[in-house]
Amino acid sequence: MAAMLPNMPQTIVAMLACTSIGAVWSSCSPDFGPQGVLDRFGQIEPKLFLSCDAYWYNGKKQKLDEKLQQIVQQLPSVQSVLIVDYLGSAESLSEKLQAVTRAHCTPFERSIAAFKPADLIFIQLPFAHPLCILYSSGTTGIPKCIIHSAGGTLLQHVKEHRLHANIKQGDRLFYFSTCGWMMWNWLVSGLASGATLLLYDGSPFYPDGNILFDYAQAEKMTHFGTSAKYIDALRKAGLHPTNSHDLSALRALFSTGSPLSPEGFAYVYQSIKQDIHLASISGGTDIVSCFVLGVPTLPVWSGEIQGAGLGMAVDVWDDKGMSLKSGKGELVCTKPFPCQPIGFWNDPGNRKYSAAYFERFENIWCHGDFAERTDHDGIIIHGRSDATLNPGGVRIGTAEIYNQVEQLPEIIEAICIGQDFAGDVRIILFVRLKAGLTLTDNMRERIKQHIRSGASPRHVPAKIIAVHDIPRTKSGKISELAVRDIVHGRIINNKEALANPDALELYKNLPELQD
């Protein structure tokens, strides 16, 4: 079963119904373009396809009529289409689709109306039975279809929820996520711990930056999940929810998607809530969970992830496969763990799967994160390994530069890459400035000086260039690899994986990068 739906109750109903009979679930958000949906669902050939008639974003109605026609017509495996009535046009849209496709199309509500309510009975299946298919970002090619097991996913999530997140019966769990991000799957598993799920669909800044805290106050939210970028955006907007909202019920705040900067840690405790467990967490779609995350019984140290997940043999290795007690290296897991994927869809002999995780170090999971142990036995993630910078042969994590640059009030966000130049690699920093500001030579020097003093001279970019937009994936992560490829004149084969593919044009054939 494949679903292109917002984060709404019907999506969770459909997911639970699917898994109860042992079928395999896969989902994406309705803001995906037609090709992005086909690149994913076209590989797995679903029999049942769910969507909605339309959705809202930033106060605007987004109709799906034309997009759905393109998608359904190009998914010949689909036998039935169910349309959730989100904005009142499911009936008419079902009729339109029925006229152009061989599949049976009907409104979701009408399809279930014929059945009387009954207890949900789950069929007993093996531990490793397929539960869901998630997808890699797809920015460097067609997305990989990652198959996760029912037993491994549930065991891992219950462990993380109850022991690392301290989620208890009756708690009220929220994670800002679309159905195309692994954190949605993580959120849904909160039901196994007796939590009430708080769902939200749409922009977290419409009509203003207070909307999620309005929600937290109204629903007595106990656990608030979001991204590091959202926390940084709140900080730069000058919002102080601790002064404007009653957050007395809130016990934990989770941050993921990218490393949370020390400034983000300080902002949470100063402007959101003082007595809260701030858990920076990191894992990925690959394991539909975390390698490193919060530990409620330990202190929170600024800029650090508290520790490895229970039962996860996490380590940091150098290029020779030696464990590092200090310094930066590859995040690895040296022993098997329950939430390892079953494999990739249509991957004979597990060749692609083995190459993705076990090629760097034989029989050792290499996750692709550039990491460092701390004196408190915590972890700092310095960015993705494939996006690390190598000026003069020294590896530098992109997050180390972002931590410095995004402290500056005039910079909304930044992206940096390594450019091959004159037989070496030089650091190029692109910045998006606040409205009305211009990047002057004086500002460039101030940025460089701030990076030099806060990080090191090796972190100082060779070039700083202003841009109006930064390309990002559907889950909101900036796409350093796509920018690096476009700067080097390489073809981007899968722009559909990006939320704003037009932004790549801002980085193409820049005169500033020719000398």
Q: What is the pLDDT of residue 502?
A: 93
Long-range contacts of the stretch 56-61 (C-beta < 8 A, 24+): 56/87, 56/201, 56/202, 57/31, 57/202, 57/203, 57/206, 58/202, 58/203, 58/206, 59/206, 59/207, 61/87
Say if residue 160's pLDDT is above 90.
Answer: yes
Q: What does the pLDDT look like over 101-139, one tens digit per residue? A: 989 999 999 999 989 988 888 889 999 999 999 998 776
Q: What is the pLDDT of residue 496?
A: 78
Query: Alpha carbon of 293 to those of 71, 192, 413: distances in Å?
Result: 38, 20, 25
The continuous run of DSSP H or E covering 403 comes out as: helix 398-405
97 phi and psi, to 5 degrees?
-65, -40
Kindly report the CATH number assigned to the domain that includes residue 95: 3.40.50.980
Residue 144 lies in a domain: no
Q: Across all residues in the chain, what is the average pLDDT?
A: 94
Same domain, residue pair 41 and 176: no
Same domain, residue pair 270 and 341: yes
Total Cβ atoms within 10 A of residue 308: 20
What sign has the CA pseudo-torsion 262, 278, 204, 157?
positive
Residue 141 lies in a domain: no
Q: What is the pLDDT of residue 120?
A: 83
Same domain, residue pair 373 and 256: yes
**Average pLDDT, stretch 25-50?**
94
Residue 424 lies in a domain: yes
What DSSP designation does 138 have?
A: -
Same domain, residue pair 357 and 435: no
Q: Which residues contact 376 (CB under 8 A, 6 or more apart)?
A: 299, 301, 304
Residue 430 lies in a domain: yes
Q: Which residues contact 170 (CB under 8 A, 6 or more apart)?
A: 194, 195, 196
**Average pLDDT, stretch 22-31?**
95
Kindly report the CATH number assigned to the domain that includes residue 339: 3.40.50.12780
In DSSP notation, 293-321 reads E--TTS---TT-B-EEPTT--EEEE-TTS
Same domain, residue pair 202 and 258: yes
As a whole number of angstroms, the distance between CA 252 and CA 278 comes to: 6
pLDDT bucket at 90, cuts 50 / 70 / 90: very high
Residue 139 lies in a domain: no
As a whole number of angstroms, the distance between CA 134 and CA 145 comes to: 6
- The residues pairing with 380 across neighbouring beta strands, listed in sequence order, are 372
From 383, 407, 424, give the residue that closes a domain: 383
Greatest extent of the chain over all pairs of C-alpha atoms, in Å: 71
pLDDT bucket at 36, cuts 50 / 70 / 90: confident
Check if the beta carbon of residue 476 is closer than 8 Å to that of residue 449: no
As a whole number of angstroms, the distance between CA 274 and CA 251 comes to: 10
Say if residue 150's pLDDT is above 80.
Answer: yes
Same domain, residue pair 373 and 433: no
Q: What is the pLDDT of residue 140?
A: 62
As a whole number of angstroms, the distance between CA 411 and CA 492 comes to: 27
**Average pLDDT, stretch 87-95?**
95
Q: What is the pLDDT of residue 139?
A: 63
Same domain, residue pair 277 and 400: no
As a whole number of angstroms, the distance between CA 346 and CA 142 comes to: 13
The continuous run of DSSP H or E covering 352 comes out as: helix 351-357
Of all residues in the chain, the percent with pLDDT exceeding 70 is 99
Q: What is the pLDDT of residue 507?
A: 97
**Average pLDDT, stretch 418-422?**
92
| Strand residues in 346-387 grouped as ranges (E) | 365-373, 379-384
Single-letter amino acid, residue 327? G
Say if residue 390's pLDDT is above 70.
Answer: yes
Single-letter amino acid, residue 188? V
Q: Which residues contact 122 (CB under 8 A, 6 or more apart)?
A: 19, 20
Residue 135 lies in a domain: no
CA 234 to chain CA mean position, Å: 18
Tell me the two tokens of residue 406. Answer: 């995004």
Same domain, residue pair 377 and 395: no
**Average pLDDT, stretch 473-498?**
87
Residues belonging to the chain: 515
Total Cβ atoms within 10 A of residue 264: 24
Q: What is the C-alpha radius of gyration for the chain, rounded to an integer number of angstroms?
A: 23
3-state class (DSSP) for residue 2? strand
Say if residue 493's pLDDT is above 80.
Answer: no
Question: What is the span of the domain harbouring residue 442?
Answer: 388-513
**Average pLDDT, stretch 228-247?**
95
Residue 118 lies in a domain: yes
Same domain, residue pair 362 and 441: no
Q: Which residues contact 349 (CB under 8 A, 6 or more apart)?
A: none
Q: What does the pLDDT look like over 257-312, one tens digit per residue? A: 889 999 999 999 999 999 999 999 999 999 999 999 999 999 999 999 999 999 99
Among 368, 268, 378, CA closest to 317: 368
Tell me how many domains the chain contains: 3
Starting at the earlier edge strand, list the strands of the sheet with 365-373.
Answer: 314-317, 328-333, 365-373, 379-384
Q: What does the pLDDT look like over 397-407, one tens digit per residue? A: 999 999 999 89
Single-letter amino acid, residue 45? E
Alpha helices, DSSP H, located in 114-178: 150-159
Same domain, residue pair 343 and 276: yes
Residue 366 lies in a domain: yes
Among 141, 143, 229, CA closest to 485: 141
Same domain, residue pair 242 and 196: yes
Q: What is the pLDDT of residue 132?
A: 98
As a whole number of angstroms, the distance between CA 344 and CA 147 comes to: 6
In DSSP notation, 457-481 reads GGGS-SEEEE-S---BBTTS-B-HH
Q: What is the pLDDT of residue 123?
A: 87
> To 10 degrees, what angle do helices 65-73 and 34-44 make?
30
- The residues pairing with 419 across neighbouring beta strands, listed in sequence order, are 426
Lookup result for tokens 């009387």: 116
Q: What does the pLDDT look like over 246-259, one tens digit per residue? A: 999 999 999 998 89
